[in-house]
Each structure stands twice: as C-alpha cells, then as structure tokens.
Structure 1
C-alpha cells in the first residue's frame, strides 16, 4: 500500500489551483536559479571553447519552463487574481480596499483631506 505524503503550503490564505501553480513556480525558480545563472555565465564567456558554450545553451534550453523568471506572475494572495495587484501588499485592488477599510492592514487608512 502506497503512502502519500501531503506537502503543506505555507501560503496562509485562500488556496485555488492558480495560487498552487504560482507557489510551485516560485519554489522551482528559487531552487534552479543558481544553476541557470551558472549556465548563462558559461554561454556569455567568449574565452571558453565553442563546444562548452553550445552544451551550456542546450542544457539551459532543456530546463523546465518553471525555472524561467518570466513564468512568475504577481497574484493576489487572497483570491488568486492576476490583474491589478499591488506589489507591496500582494493583493488585488479590491481586496486591498476591503482590508484597508476593515483596518486589517497595519499602517493603512483611508485618506481624507
């Protein structure tokens, strides 16, 4: 009988498939970033032989797409929306407004003048 281990996501928010995928992409990118930087250094180093640079290009091209920084998208941690996300708070505009009005975001209050 196979035993399955459940990995716990350290998100602390509402979880939907888009958020899980984004979390997976971020973890994969973080894990493979040093290897990508090393390969990119080899490719750009013109003093190396051509076969070494070509091999590095081949390895970099064959890495999983989740290791690329362009795959990471800013998503709202509350609802998973990808548009209108405030980077500092990682929330969509509407969620930010609702939380700010409720007073759940420290240091944020409605402006009045």
Structure 2
C-alpha cells in the first residue's frame, strides 16, 4: 500500500494540471509557432517558467485506484497488475476471464 502523502501529492498535481492546462497550451503554442517574433516567444517562455512545476502533465503519475501502486499499471482498467489479476479471478471485472488452451 502506498503512503497517503504520495497519493495526495498526485491528486494535488491533477488539480494543478486542470487549473493551468489552457494557459500552458497557449504558451506552448506561442513558443513552438513560427508566426510569432522571437521576443514574443521569449516572453511566453518566461511566463511558462513562472507557472508551478506540478502543473506540467509529465509530472503526473498513473496509480492504481485501489492500492495506489505506481508500477504495473493497466491504463484501460485503472488498476495495477496485481489487483487486476485478483479481481478478474474473482469475476469482478466484467468480460475478463482466465484463458486456457
């Protein structure tokens, strides 16, 4: 089981990402576009650097919804491989069954 502090830190990052998503998109568009002058790009880069670090999408970590485990995460189900196996063997995930041939 993951520490509560790590789970809460990840949740805080989710909130910051949602809050600054549009602003980051606009600034990144200005920086990458050829339509703007180098001075505008420089100003946009400075503004982007002033935003909180945790508002960047790459700092978000995929975690299991049940245990908070960060590794072995199956994105489609939102579970770690361990919990996915447990729940599927119990028949709690619809449409999933153990294969044998």
Structure 1 residue 94: Cα displacement: 0.9
TM score, norm. by length of structure 1? 0.78
- Runs of 4+ in structure 1 off by over 4 angstroms are none
Q: Does 1:59 align with 2:44?
A: no
Tell me the C-alpha RMSD between the 2 structures.
Answer: 1.9
- 1:7 aligned partner: none
Which structure 2 segments of 5+ residues have no match?
Answer: none
The residue matched to 2:77 in structure 1 has which SS? coil
Larger helix share, 1 or 2: 2
The residue matched to 2:95 in structure 1 has which SS? coil
The residue matched to 2:10 in structure 1 has which SS? helix
Question: Which of 66, 70, 77 lines up with 2:65 in the alignment?
Answer: 77
- 2:17 aligned partner: 29
The residue matched to 2:89 in structure 1 has which SS? helix
Which structure 1 segments of 5+ residues have no match?
Answer: 1-14
